[in-house]
Structure 1
Amino acid sequence: MTHLLGAHTFVTGGPASAIDTAEKLGFTAIQIFTKNNNQYFAKDLSEKEINDFKSKLLASNIKFVVSHDSYLINLCSKDPMMLKKSREAFLKELERCEQLGIPYLNFHPGAHGGQGEELGIKLIAESLNIVHQKTKGYKTKSMLEATAGQGTALGYRFEQLRKIIDLVEEPERMSVCIDTAHIFAAGYDIRDSKQYKKVIKEFNDIIGLEKLKCIHMNDSKKELGSRVDRHEHIGKGFIGTEGFTNIMNDKKLERVPKILETPKGKDQKEDLQNIKLLLSLVKK
């Protein structure tokens, strides 16, 4: 089995620097921030930054790139000003991805802040429709990430993700990312092979595996159903190697890029250890 594997990669010297790091580490898939993830906005990308990124990517062994949006963005914020700001920031994130030729913008759906799940879901879809209207013809797809359901965060059930997609006027612009730590914390048990098959069948029945374009490979520091989002190194959390053995040997998920978001230092050596472990789980 040939897997596209990599990790969230730092962009300290601009977007193109992530390609250099990923190449050095032997990644075939990466996730990046196209700007500071703790700010809503950033100065526009220069033509040089765009060209450097594109040319380096083209000359590399990297086959898949996804960008993660700012953690500040909340597409169903209870505060009208914050909602407006989030929509504007998401639009900018989508524009940056399109400029860099990044095919997916991954994002957490949002936290309803006490408004209720139904209204929250409607606001997320409305936000996406507004942004999509302003970005007609864009190739970059909006990628919903399954969440742990911490606080009032939405997207912790497959049904919620489906509802958002159904309310989006251009559903073909939508894709989905499964985060293993998130779905485990949300109550989906992927450790036992029987339970794992049930979870994947449920995802396929509700959303469709054709929408699954990325998997965040993270162990969980918290127990099954805890609804707490805490990432751990592969095999060192409550999912354990059993859950990742199921994923790494699932033919249906073989072509889905798998990206680590586990704790790491600047040299990202921990990512290499985690990748090595994931590859060792593949049955010959």
Structure 2
Amino acid sequence: MLRIGAHVSISRSKTGSDSSSPPYDDIRNAVHRQVEIDGNCGQIFTHSPQVWQDPSFDDEEAELFRRETEENLDGPWVIHSSYLVNLCTPKDDLREKSVDSMQKEVDAAEKLGVEYVNVHLGAHTGAGVDGGLENAASALDELEIPEGVTVLLESDAGAGTKLGGDFEHLARVLDMSEQDLDVCIDTAHAFAAGYDLSSTVGVENTLREFDDVVGLEHLQCIHLNDSKHECGTNKDEHAHVGEGHIGEEGMRALVTHPDLEDVPFVLETPTEDGKSFAWNVERVKEFREEQATV
């Protein structure tokens, strides 16, 4: 079954001006937004990702969110952690804030019935690759992750001292950590980090390398984004599906690959050029449908 959705807002306002838009004053708007774009899974921030802030919703809101999700979506939901979280940091104060933020996110996930919390490893900022990866693993080990919640390590574009651009980085943290962790590949990030996903052969080779280094059994989510920049540039800027340098062949190969048949795809595509999340969802569905008729 194709599971496709987008990263939608949990803004506490009506999702539209039409009369069919529910007048919810809670995070159920995220469910409605997913339905509006014809998605069946998705991702959210529990708060602004640009500030240190705690998730804020009460037990009733959480229960209603769970109920609306069960009635309208196939799942899963993913919570994306704050952009400020840096698990690789050698700085004690930033590490403490990062661990505290992640603990609140995994607790929120349990409350909302969300299966995954997605996080970037962060930047080692002088600690070196080995030191940064060790910092990340030990920081993750400080978490008390509730049963039913899994932390996903997201692949990175690899700019500067950021880690996670190399599949080996992800594999090493999985090995070093005592937690049961899994992985999310962002296609734009992987492409920017040097993994060529622009052709059927390139996708096959990349997935084979991922399987050899990390293991496909650890791949639980894909952020499906095309790239506005060429392969290996370390530039993280997303494009519509099939409209960037990964292109139509690469995107089609990804969403129709048999090893990815049951992996949820979450869009983080831009809203520009008159193309919305709904346009991208429809394009992915068309690729799958075309494959089915071959």
TM-score interval w.r.t. the shorter chain? over 0.9
Question: Conserved in 1, the CA contact under 8 Å of 2:38 and 2:281?
Answer: no
Structure-to-structure mapping, 1:25-36, within 5 angstroms: 25-36=37-48
2:276 aligns to what SS in structure 1? helix
Task: Indicate the residue corresponding to 1:201 in structure 2.
Answer: 208
Task: Indicate the residue corresponding to 1:280 in structure 2.
Answer: 286
Give, in angstroms, the shift of residue 15 of structure 1. Answer: 2.6
Give me the TM-score of the superposition, normalised by structure 2.
0.90
Give, in angstroms, the shift of residue 44 of structure 1. Answer: 4.0
Question: Conserved in 2, the CA contact under 8 Å of 1:157 and 1:186?
Answer: yes
- Which stretches of structure 1, 4 residues or more, deviate above 3 A after TM superposition? none
Give, in angstroms, the shift of residue 63 of structure 1. Answer: 2.3
Percent identity reads 35
Structure 2: distance between partners of 1:50 and 1:195: 42
Give me the TM-score of the superposition, normalised by structure 1.
0.93
Structure 2: distance between partners of 1:140 and 1:35: 19
Give, in angstroms, the shift of residue 111 of structure 1. Answer: 0.6
Structure 1: distance between partners of 2:191 and 2:27: 31
Give, in angstroms, the shift of residue 280 of structure 1. Answer: 2.2
Give, in angstroms, the shift of residue 269 of structure 1. Answer: 6.0
Give, in angstroms, the shift of residue 126 of structure 1. Answer: 0.3
Task: Indicate the residue corresponding to 2:184 in structure 1.
Answer: 177
1:106 aligns to what SS in structure 2? strand
Task: Indicate the residue corresponding to 1:6 in structure 2.
Answer: 5
Structure 2: distance between partners of 1:230 and 1:21: 23
**AA partner of residue 73 (structure 2):** N
Structure 1: distance between partners of 2:275 and 2:201: 33
Give, in angstroms, the shift of residue 50 of structure 1. Answer: 0.9
Structure 2: distance between partners of 1:62 and 1:193: 28
Give, in angstroms, the shift of residue 41 of structure 1. Answer: 2.1
Determine if the alignment matches structure 1 residue 121 to structure 2 residue 133. Answer: yes
Deviations 1:128-163 (A, max 9, x none): 0011xx34x532101000111012110111111000
Task: Indicate the residue corresponding to 1:78 in structure 2.
Answer: 90
1:96 aligns to what SS in structure 2? helix
**AA partner of residue 248 (structure 2):** T
Determine if the alignment matches structure 1 residue 230 to structure 2 residue 237. Answer: yes
Give, in angstroms, the shift of residue 61 of structure 1. Answer: 2.6
Deviates most, 45-54 or 140-149? 45-54
Task: Indicate the residue corresponding to 2:219 in structure 1.
Answer: 212
**Matching residue within 243, 258, 270 for 2:276:** 270
Question: Conserved in 1, the CA contact under 8 Å of 2:196 and 2:202?
Answer: yes
1:226 aligns to what SS in structure 2? coil
Structure 1 portions without partners, runs of 5+: none
Structure 2: distance between partners of 1:254 and 1:86: 34
Task: Indicate the residue corresponding to 1:106 in structure 2.
Answer: 118
Structure 1: distance between partners of 2:278 and 2:236: 23
Structure 2 portions without partners, runs of 5+: 13-25
